[in-house]
Structure 1
Amino acid sequence: MNVETKNKTAADHLVEDIESFYDDPLGFVQYIFAWGEGDLEGHTGPDTWQAELLEDVGRHIREGEGRAYQSAIASGHGIGKGAVTAWLILHQMACRKNLNGVVTANTKQQLETKTWRELALWHSRSMIKSWFEWTATKFYHVSSPETWYVSAIPWSERNSEAFAGQHGEVLVIYDEASSIPDCIYDVSEGAMTTPNAMWFTFGNPTRNTGRFRESFGKFKHRWNTKQIDSRDCKMTDKRKLEQWITDFNIESDFCKVRIRGLFPSASSMQFISGDLVDDAREREAKCYLEEPLIFGVDVARFGDDQSVVCFRRGRDARTIEWTKYRSLDTMQLAARVAELVRLHQADAVFVDGGGVGGGVVDRLRQLHVDCIEVNFGSKAEDARYNNKRAEMWGGMREWLDGGAIPTDRELVDDLIGVEYGFTPTNKIQLEKKEDMKKRGLASPDMADALALTFAYPVAPKGMAGKRSEMARKRREYDPFAVKR
């Protein structure tokens, strides 16, 4: 053993080991984590698709002759893309001096609570955690924080040039890339002229337009593409996947996007399909008189919105003509609703209680109208949904499969215009009205009114009285009473 080798410290040997993984990211990941121990107990290493991606990256580093590397991964839910994103960042930071990288996601919340936090988790597990510092917006080498780092930057069309400032050793990562606009892609494209630049895009293939989709189509020759089925991955919740298949059908756009990693036939962000709505417009309205008549009252919040009263009896939401009101204050609207309730003898009245809706509810109660206030943002009873509004729309979507609606073009536009997504905990959430207006669409007042009729179950006519009588008799009956 020579003197130089003898004097090397454990830290020196670690540096040499890590340097040897420059073109072997899979070996790097297998080396720096204590697989099978601590919170990685039961885990033996990367999943098959993750290992294949890491091997492909290593092959390109060895054989790519300095060309940029671009990888697009379309997948179902829960496959471990957050983990592989963290591994790629750690590998590139450890093996490429003065790396200058940027990471973004479809939303600021996704970036902060999922993508970037996953990096913090894997950084803390690694044997090289002392080399780097993780902050809420930056991951940097402690020896060169100003020149050797990866930044977490929420995308903005007004600040797209934030993605142009990549020099030297370049790394770009997009999470939920289907929802990142083309103008951000255009800027990142410019960074790919840098030798050895690397660009990774991950996401559910939610849109069949845009640059992420084109990475698998007309620009496929530039990208290394993979489409990952959640059912083939080790860490996915197989019971949840089977539930989705049962609920939506494996050939549905929902399952194509959320499970199979395939692009949809139509815009998968669309919560209710046009075919479903068209069928409901053309279907004959049928109902049973013993079914309850339910009112849904959506209250206008802004000057360009309208208040809508919807009437539904069973599968029939067409026979009784809906009413629309503009420029009414809460007192006037409550008076109109009270008249309609008495005219049609409503069995249940559900009122949107958000914004000024609470005033309508209060006034209706003063007018002795029995109504139920519904808060769109309140907690859903069905665990699949993020809030009450999403849950009601889910019930309405199921009902449309056999229901009948008015042939009102405005209602049709409302129903098919709303898009949806998922929270970080995989709960369905609907697009906000404010975001719809940014897309040039009107507030879906008519559709929200119909959705309100699904707020809570309503007993068929006569059942409420029968149940009350049965409950009274049960209370009066005492099996232990002494017979007289």
Structure 2
Amino acid sequence: MAAVSEELKQRVAEVLRQGRADWCYFARVVLGVSLDPEQEAILRSVQFNKMTSVASGTARGKDYIMAVAALCFLYNTPVFINGDLVENTKVALTAPTDRQIKNIMMPEISRLYRRMVANGFGFMAGRLSAYDIKTDHEEWFLTGFKADEHNHEAWSGFHAVHTFFGVTEASGIHENIYSAIEGNLQGDSRIVLVFNRNTNTGYAARSQKSARWAKFRLNSLNAPNVLQKQIVIPGQVDYGWVADKVETWCQRIDERDFNEGEGDFRWEGECFRPNDLFRIKVLALAPKETSDTLIPSQWVDLAMERWKQHRTEGFPISNVLRLGVDVAGMGRDSSCFCPRYGDYVGEMQMVHSAGKANHMEVAGMTVNRINQHNDLFSGKKAKAYIDTIGEGAGVYSRLVELGIPGVFSCKYSEAAEDSAGNALTDLTGQYTFANMRAYLAWAVRDWLDPSKKSKAMLPPDDGLKEELEGVKWKFQSNGRIIIEPKEDMKERLKRSPDKLDALANTFYPDAQEEVTQDLTGVFF
């Protein structure tokens, strides 16, 4: 790199000092870009989070913000002492095809690179080529190349103190590639995915549900050009394009039929229901769940938004506690406590078992929860529901031994019948169930269903969300509904769906009558 004056060195040192602390500042001053609030939030996520997932509508700037993040990482993370590179940085950008790297990703990098040079920082920018930015240090570089599922060796050179993996069109990348990338996510590393949500399956789709990821959705309805009805950001999606897609890809509906659970939205004073093309390309939503998905993703999102609103505005909630308890086994990490007060679910508590049966501890915590509630609400006795197939049997037995009232044994394998032997049904009375597990899972579905005027409130919890959205169901030959085997869910989630099970336990049927009163400002 060319020699620079002492004054310029001091200026650069100050810029880098501020830039390392605030990548949005670096993007503004060095790269010369102006980011909208959503883009700034994504860049800050990449600065501080190891894994960031960005689902996007068409022409919403997803590759642009990826390029900004990649260059912020490239120039802000290496460490020098007396001119020697002591902490190296490597940035890898990949996509399903070479064309996407050469014609989409690298041109974004090139434009930012040229701005950086024009802003007076060319001395530190390195040398740009069609697929790379190289510096005077072999261990400090950016490179882009096509993802090849059969070539894991391509990723073997990306061990560094600071590593960045940017994946564009991420839903088109094979699972084997992600396995290779994750093998390099050590130390100070980042992985950023940007994609259109054109499928409900695969690594990228799971990233929008998993607690491991910071998640963002670039909805084209919120784009600056669309909101202001004029070109504010050249090249981004514009008002005219969105207006045309509203007319061609959406159905006008009556206000009375408006259902957020279907992805319905309001545009220019009218209500619309989108088809899957509009969901993917404009709203940055996944296509509607397949017919075997028990609980649509958007139903869960709505319940979590109501929970947040309750915390800020306050709503009446039930003062009757139904406590679902899922007990950890020897090979599992945690027991789960789920407190539900009518439509309101309090924050779930996970208790680590350290791989050992901790029945007495779980029993003691259950007793404390029951007693605390009963002391607070005289006459509104708490009830606890414990799955007694497996480890929960020991906890239930101990509570019975202690004479604790209001404790119920839930057996998922038992018949889905009431105490009189009548078949339990869904809210419509149309469906019956193969076993109690299927009934309880469907009861959660009915509770969350917006078409049934749901008021359900779930705490924001990525793990719970992933478990709720992962349940599959089908009809048996006798017409009864059955839920997929739990082992299949464990295989997909790579863990037991403990939070889902604890929530489902709270819907175990009994004769309890719930009473509602105003508890605004009281949180559990």
User: TM-score, length-normalised on structure 1?
Assistant: 0.47
Greater strand share, structure number: 2
Normalised to the residue count of structure 2, the TM-score between the two structures is: 0.44
